[in-house]
Structure 1
Amino acid sequence: MTSSSSSFYIVDSLEILTCPVCFNLYKEPIALPCGHSFCRVCLETSWESRKEDKCCVCPNCREVFLQKPKMKENVIIANLVEKMKLKKRKFRLGVDVRHAEHGYSKSGCNDSHCELCYREAAKRCVPCEILCCEQHLKPHQQKGHKLVDPGVKIEEQGFIEYGKPILLYCKDDGILMGVTCTCGKHSNHNVVGVEIAHAELKGVLAAKYPHVSESMQSVASRLQQVQEEEEQTEKLGKDAEDRLEGKRRLVCQFVNESVDLMKIEINKRKMEKLSLLGKQREKLEQQMEFLRQGKSTMDTALQELEAVSFLQGYKDLLKRVETMSDFKFMKTLLPVLDFSKEEKNLDVLIKLNKKFLGKIQKGPVSNSGKVELDQNNMRNLYGRTLRLDPNSANRQIKISRDLRTATRAKTENQYPEHPDRFDRYLQVVSSESFSSGRHYWEVDVRSSSFWGIGICSNSMGRKGEESVLGGNPESWCLWKYKNKYSAYHNNQKTALSVPGNPERVGFFLDCEAGELTCFGDSRVLHVFRGTFTNPVKPAVGVGSFDGSVQFSSFSHLERSSGDLVRWRVVCPSVRQSVSPSVHKHLKLLLRNR
């Protein structure tokens, strides 16, 4: 191989066997799955500088490896590098021998000659570290190698890409550079020493440090808030699940106990009826046997007895036959096993549960949600039998013994003084007050042509002009006067179109939804909206002389006293755990006819 061809070979091999990161010959070359190779140290340094990516990236083709690949030494490249180093040393040795034969010395006057021939050197190739003439310079130019004047010593320059110390920093381009770079494209740039640039830029970075610290504190604070919200959400979710599990147990316990009670009652009625039927069957069997014997005697007398024998026993036989003819069947009134009404109530509950389940399946339950109910369902589920509070009654209002009827009397009653008593208007409130849940009650108004019915807060004044129902912000009232109806609240009246004269008005109070729905017989007359989470009481007013209004009773929805005793004994845990509305509904399902 000639010296020229050796030069080309060395230049090509240097290009191939150079690490793309440090631009030096490979040291411990490592091959990645993508096919590219790097020095082990260069690759690990590159990955260490990108820890925030949480993945490994090829510095050449940018292929991403989700997990750090196993780094195996590229034996082929390592061997080629060793051979290249050996060939380079031999090439150097051969050049030096030729120089010695012709009297040249690298350190003498001939250090400006081409190292591949004997011509005058035009440039020095920095990566190949050889002097080249114009002819041998072309391969290096085609490879884009860094070229300097022959007299420039490479060891005095600062080329970072060839492992040499960097001396300067270009502030305009923001890059490190060697001394010889100042005469190129950086000739008019702001170039300073590395130490000066280091001090200046370190100050700039230090000035931004507090902002980074503040940002870190802000992010840390928000991160702590998010973590606390996550923990709170987990806790709230678990608490809700625990509550639901408790309700599941209560519902299951209620269903089991209610079914057991109903089965006991059914079995009791069945045994009573079977006992009566058994006695009736025994009596009928005895009568059947008596008739069978009498018929046999008659057959014998008619077919077998002679005249004398027949006549001798005729009177006794006739008397017996008459007894048989006068036989009366035993009639006993037996109870009927009829649980149709209870089953109907169960059907209502099932229907409501299906609607509620459908709402849950459609989306998250943002609030309790008002289930569409008719008045019959409201009576069954939320019906309240209210009692009047005598301490609140105006002296011209007479209260019945059962505390359900208010009548306007012609004379004043001798009621004692009380701070809750209405002194000006003929009004009275109930003993019950509501601040949560759903409640339904009805008032019979057939006996009065002038009345006002609604609710008022416990704190509403009872004295003077401001105490009329609906005439203040703390009361909501439905009024009837001269066959005209109006909704009255905060001294504002709304005329209502009501066909006919309802005999019974109903009120459905949903405290959480903030609604008071007024019914006239089966029609919705008006809906008041307000805040009903503070205690409110149903109230009535009677304006016509001798007129009266009466709270309707829902006692038919309650169990008998004997059944309530059994309920308390059998279901004490359920009775104490459920809400009043559910408790009343449980009593409804278990009531006796």
Structure 2
Amino acid sequence: MASSSMTGVCADELQCIVCLELYKEPITLPCGHSFCKVCIEQHWESSEEATVCDCPNCREVFPIKPKCQKNVALAKLVEQMKLVPGVNEEKMKLVPGVNEEKMKLTSVVNVEERRCTNHGKPIQLYCKDDESFMCVMCMVGQHKNHEVVPVEIVHDELKGVLAAKCPELSKSKQHLESQLHQLKRQVEQTQDSGKGTVDRMEEKRLALYQYVDKSVDLMKSSVIKRQNEKICLLQKQMDKVKEQLNSLQETNSTLKAALQDLETISFLKGYKDVIKRLESVSHFQSLKMAQPTVLDFSKEEKNLGSFIELHENFLKNIMKPVELQMAALDQSSLRRLYGRTPSLDPNSANPWVKISRDLRTATRTETHNPYPEHPDRFDRCVQVLSSDCFSSGRHYWEVEVRSSSWWRIGICLNSMRRKGKGKECWLGGNPESWCLMKYQNKYSTWHNCQGTHLSVPGDPERFGFLLDCEEGEFTCFGDSRVLHVFRGNFLVPVKSAIGVYKHVGDSVRFCSF
């Protein structure tokens, strides 16, 4: 900016903030701010309260109208500045700057956009009630009694809002990068996990008869299929995380650009767009990462030896569709091949549910249990999940229910909501859970608020559940027969779930094998 070598004063310092031009007959108010005499007189004349005189800059009110005497020293500086080459009043209409960079930035701003559309005066104020820009003359109009602040103040406030988002955005970015790293490691581990399994199965193949040869081929295909499905799932998760990471990086760049914007009006006009972009990615930070799981094929290898001992008719069933295979397996075989006893997770238990020391039994209590706060805990629904998490293979467990008259037993995705008492938190009341229910001595199955009544002879004391992650099936057994088969995507983390809802002392227990 041009300056006088004699005074060392920049032309920006000799501009009236009302007209944005060099002072014409400058006067100085008691508060210390200076204006053109005509500008300040017009400002006071435009006020609805004729007796009120205030400063357009700091808004200090003067009970008695100040005497507007010419500031001789300031007027002399203005005259000296006019003699400096390159300085003229037209150039002084640009937004005041402090260096060449700011001058370059403000030079592209339309001067008319910086003026009030109602009065043609420079925009100096911001109405928080209407979220609009205004000049000092607007104070006596529709904005009277509104919360009005100088644009510089709201500029600093909103810039602070954006600056406060930086750590949160950075934390989300780091979290997504960590997730991406974990997914990459799982892909590598999954690729390595089945390398030796196929070869070892080939060695055992020599000990089998013709039907065993066919079963080995089927098992090899199952191993490769599990690998490919798991890798495909992990790749999709990686792609999603990458997409979110890219979106987050773009938003981060937009945020940094906004924070570096030195021009007040331009920043304020773009502020809402930046906030919208921040809100669109805010849910990324709540994204939870399941514990890494690696495919385990050791059980398939051990089971191969067991298959050799099975009856020839059972081996024939291996060649049939999966549905027929499962039908051929009685619960005794399921216990031996896929049986496990899940452990209950105390961190997920509702305060009305007491967990036994061996983490097998859930009991409905009369009083709240003093559990600490935890993000995984059901705060309203009287339910509890297992600590075991499944995303591959086959898993069979049984639950003893003779000590409970109203219960729900099933599975849910690890991402199922835990807080609140709405349908989204009840087992079977949302797309993320599947369950068998007993209520008023009647049985039904539930998923996504859709119920199916079942005919269950007698009153079984134990029910069995088979989860086949790769086939996407969850089968409910009662009295050694299939009651219902759910189908869904169980290649994502799944947990066993129990709900005991009404009578004090009712309990449900995972059976030990």
TM-score relative to the length of structure 2: 0.40
Structure with greater helix share of residues: 1
Specify the structure having the higher radius of gyration (Cα).
1
TM-score relative to the length of structure 1: 0.35
Structure ranking higher on relative contact order (CA contacts 8 Å, 6+ apart): 2
